[in-house]
Amino acid sequence: MLMLSQTIAGSWVITVPNPEERHWSTQLAEFDTTCVTAGTSTADAFEQGAATTLALLVKDAAGRDVDDDFTNRVRDTYQVTSHDPAAVARMEGFVETALATLRGAA
């Protein structure tokens, strides 16, 4: 399962389970939002970049065509986590929008 997680510092990371070390993860990407000001268009771009990257990885991992049921079918292949419930809701919205865009582009 792909994970998009917010660190305590506020950055977003995409990870997958590490097959060699049980209960450990391998980081695929990091979006360091500590270098931008929260609430700005730049911070929004970082978050949307993280969501779009996750959506592309989910699409590739799905290994099937993007069809009308794509968004529902892949929902179990990723998870968004954070200590901030509002951040989870915001990022889940960004991911769903990116997945819908991928579906529309197919």
Asked whether the beta carbons of 26 and 15 are under 8 A apart, the reply is yes
What percentage of the chain has pLDDT greater than the value 70? 88
Q: How buried is residue 86: exposed, middle or buried, by Cβ count under 10 Å (0-12/13-18/19+)?
A: exposed
35-65 pLDDT per residue, tens: 888 889 999 999 999 999 999 998 887 766 5
Helices (H), 1-106: 41-62, 70-74, 85-105
Mean pLDDT of 55-76: 73
Mean pLDDT of 62-71: 63
What percentage of the chain has pLDDT greater than the value 90? 58
The predicted structure's pLDDT at residue 65: 59
How do beta strands 25-31 and 78-81 pair?
unpaired
- The token pair at 88 is 């989870």
Residue 75 has pLDDT above 80, yes or no: no
